[in-house]
Amino acid sequence: MPLLTTIKKPYLLFALSLITLSSCANYHASSLNTLAPDAILSSHSMEKKEILIVAKAFSKRDCQRYLDRDVIAEGYQPVQLYIENRSDKSYVFALDRISLAHAEPEEVAEKVHTSTVGRAVGYGVGALFLWPLAIPAVVDGIKSHEANNALDTDFLSKAARNQVIEPHSYFNKLLFVPNNEYQPSFTLTLLDQNAQAKTFTVSAS
């Protein structure tokens, strides 16, 4: 006798629901690592002891690890920017002083959101034939909304923004660059506490 005929229908439907629930939407991303100072990329050799800048262009694997989404496939190249201030001065980092184009993190996050409506419709069709699928439909709708909220918060926290880099501290953030505007080499200008501009030429590895 086939195995399936020996399993009572209610148990089979319950098991199906559990399997379906295990595939609910989620968001799991690692925190950004600090970049190893393999290269000190500065146009001012005397400042190498004060300012360390390292940049890294994310691969698809990096995207999955640190963003839990392939944002490159959606049109954005993430660039991790690590700036270490080894001096006794404060420096101001400003997005409008980078030669790379960049998108707002909210825009990028929206592109990689889990489609709550699409998933609900898929479950809804199945629920017409197997009522236990109505339970995962409700749960997955909630999980999808929570995953999108977590994604929004994480992208915003990891994205570069205007800020002061205090003495003996570091800046470790992401730039989301449109794929068609990405250049591996770019310039970055920092202002010290005396409003003196220091421009660096940076190359993303």
> What's the average model confidence in pLDDT over 29-57?
72
User: Could you tell me if residue 32 is inside a domain?
Assistant: no
Look at residue 130 and give its three-state secondary structure: coil
Query: Structural domain tally of the chain?
Result: 1
The mean predicted confidence, pLDDT, of the chain is 80
Question: Token pair for residue 147?
Answer: 């995953």
First to last CA, the chain: 61
As given in the structure block, the two tokens for residue 106 are: 């909210």
How far is Cα 151 from Cα 116, in angstroms, rounded to an integer? 14
In a domain, 94, yes or no: yes
Does 167 reside within a domain? Answer: yes
Q: Is 46 among the domain residues?
A: yes
Domain of residue 15, residue span? 3-25+39-203
pTM for this entry? 0.75
Considering only CA atoms, give the Rg of the chain: 23
Distance, CA of 171 to CA of 165 (rounded, Å): 7
197 lies in some domain:
yes
Residue 178: strand pairing partners: 76
| Amino acid 38: pLDDT | 53
Q: Is residue 66 part of a domain?
A: yes
Distances (CA, A) of 187 to 93, 98, 121, 190: 12, 6, 47, 10
Of the ranges 75-89, 122-136, 138-152, the best mean pLDDT one: 75-89
* Per-residue model confidence as pLDDT tens digits over 142-178: 678 889 999 999 999 999 999 999 999 999 999 999 9
Report residue 29 as tokens. 């991303």
Q: Answer yes or no: is 33 within a domain.
A: no
Where is pLDDT greater, at 20 or 174? 174
Residue 34 lies in a domain: no
CA distance 12 to 20: 12
Is the pLDDT at 48 greater than 50? The verdict is yes
183 touches 200 (CB < 8 A): no
